[in-house]
């Protein structure tokens, strides 16, 4: 996690990253320094996993309250927005109050709220540590991980930027064809007018094959134009693969809800230092990191971890064959993370070798 005092540091170019490649096609890259100096060097992300300051005063330099977190995060959010693609998902870890302070900044920069996921650590997290006479409230055993996607917009022939829902309707109207003929174009009874071209909350993202049919139909039957119908850049005809990448990736897993019952990290997964119970007080479970990575990315995709800490997201990226890019400002955490990533790279090789030998 990043610390509040890093904003006072000079943002010089960070040293070269430490990079670990894995035999499953994954990669872990970590730099010592402020992630604000790294964003321009990193490839565009399919997922951003942000686990920065919470405003809980649990780390050196972190503020005692969530007040001001919106200003702290603002420059980072601006950089995430510049690098984001239509298929990018942001996973924002924080406390409830901390997220509430930052939400408006995310919304202002074009991030669309999808869902808040509750990490429930369970009653064991506070067992024996609650004084009922002084707490004056219920013990808190949760954190949240909020999912955002891009509210992407496309340009019209006049240069106006419209959300996809309005842009689709605009492009069909430009053809001069009546709206009901979208059903004929797609070979459906009424799904096109009812789902793909409605302007209400029932709007549905058109599948790529239907978009190709719509573009071809408008080209054949619509008004002559020098600008291809439904062209994403105003020049080239619509491509099905390009259209399929105009929304955030999602790979659904049945049986998982937005409440994640998972105890705080302990046992072999918990990183410890001599004389300390743990290196990092708020280490995230790899099971949860791999869950959000598998849901929103594919093998080979790039994942950003701007506030590295112990780089649990980057470990998850390496394990699942993704490309993880992280930064950490505190030397002690950076050193521990490098050691962890190197060990993980070796373990991935061992597991793959053992699997091959037992096949």
Q: What is the pLDDT of residues 153-175, one digit of tens each?
A: 999 999 999 999 999 999 999 99
Asked whether the beta carbons of 50 and 306 are under 8 A apart, the reply is yes
The whole-number pLDDT of residue 57 equals: 72
- Domains in the chain: boundaries: 4-152+249-358, 154-244
Q: How many other C-beta atoms can be found within 10 angstroms of the C-beta atom of residue 333?
A: 22
In CATH, the architecture of 4-152+249-358 is 3-Layer(aba) Sandwich (3.40)
Distance CA 198, CA 214 (A): 15
Supply the DSSP symbol for 255: T
Nearest-CA neighbor of 62 among 330, 312, 276, 294?
330
136: three-class secondary structure by DSSP: coil
pLDDT by 10-residue block (mean), the chain, 359 residues: 38 74 94 95 98 80 82 96 98 96 97 98 86 88 97 95 97 98 97 97 96 98 97 95 96 97 87 74 93 98 96 97 96 92 88 65
In sequence order, what are the residues at sequence separation of 6 or more whose Cβ sits closer than 8 angstroms to the Cβ of residue 318? 20, 22, 24, 26, 27, 28, 324, 341, 344, 345, 348
Q: How many CB atoms lie within 10 A of CB 79?
A: 19
How far apart, in whole angstroms, are the C-alpha atoms of residue 1 and residue 310? 8
Question: For 333-354, what is each residue's pLDDT tens digit?
Answer: 999 999 999 999 998 877 766 6
- d(CA 107, CA 105) in angstroms, rounded, equals 5
Question: Residue 33: which residues within 8 A CB-CB, separation 6 or more?
Answer: 12, 14, 15, 327, 329
29 membership: H or E segment, kind and range = strand 27-32
Angstrom distance (rounded) from CA 46 to CA 109: 17
What is the pTM for the complete model shown? Answer: 0.90
- pLDDT at residue number 10: 41
What pLDDT is attached to residue 16? 83
Whether the CB-CB separation of 215 and 207 falls below 8 Å is answered with no
Contacts of 347 (CB under 8 A, 6+ apart): none
- What region does 170 belong to: left with phi over 0, alpha with psi -120 to 50, or beta? alpha
Classify the phi-psi angles of 128: left when phi > 0, otherwise alpha if psi is within -120 to 50, otherwise beta: left
Conformational region of residue 8, where left means phi above 0, alpha means psi within -120 to 50, and beta covers everything else: alpha
Host H or E run for residue 108: helix 96-108
């Amino acid at each position: 996690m990043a610390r509040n005092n890093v904003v006072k540091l000079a943002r010089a170019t960070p040293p070269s990253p430490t990079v670990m490649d894995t035999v499953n096609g994954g990669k872990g890259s970590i730099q010592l320094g402020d992630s604000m100096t790294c964003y321009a060097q990193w490839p565009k992300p399919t997922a951003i996993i942000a686990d920065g300051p919470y405003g809980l005063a649990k780390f050196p330099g972190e503020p005692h309250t969530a007040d001001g977190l919106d200003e702290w995060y603002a420059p980072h959010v601006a950089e995430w927005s510049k690098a984001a693609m239509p298929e990018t998902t942001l996973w924002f870890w924080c406390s409830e109050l901390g997220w509430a302070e930052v939400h408006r900044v995310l919304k202002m920069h074009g991030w669309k709220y999808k869902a808040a996921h509750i990490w429930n650590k369970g009653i064991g997290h506070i067992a024996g540590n609650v004084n009922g006479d002084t707490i004056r409230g219920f013990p808190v055993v949760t954190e949240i991980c909020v999912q955002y996607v891009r509210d992407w917009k496309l340009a019209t022939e006049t240069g106006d930027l419209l959300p996809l829902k309005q842009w689709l309707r605009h492009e069909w109207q430009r053809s001069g064809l009546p709206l009901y003929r979208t059903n004929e174009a797609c070979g459906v009874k009424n799904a096109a007018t009812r789902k793909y071209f409605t302007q209400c909350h029932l709007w549905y993202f058109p599948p790529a094959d239907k978009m190709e049919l719509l573009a071809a139909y408008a080209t054949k039957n619509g008004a002559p134009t020098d600008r291809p119908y439904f062209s994403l850049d105003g020049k080239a005809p619509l491509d099905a693969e390009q259209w399929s990448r105009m929304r955030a990736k999602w790979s659904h897993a049945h049986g998982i809800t937005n409440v994640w019952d998972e105890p705080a990290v302990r046992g072999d997964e918990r990183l410890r230092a001599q004389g300390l119970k743990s290196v990092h007080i708020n280490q995230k479970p790899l099971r949860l990191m791999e869950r959000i990575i598998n849901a929103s990315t594919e093998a080979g995709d790039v994942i950003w971890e701007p506030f590295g800490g112990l780089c649990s997201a980057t470990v998850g990226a390496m394990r699942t064959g993704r490309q993880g890019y992280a930064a950490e400002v505190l030397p002690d955490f950076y050193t521990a993370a490098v050691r962890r990533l190197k060990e993980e790279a070796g373990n991935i090789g061992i597991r793959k070798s053992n699997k091959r030998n037992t096949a």
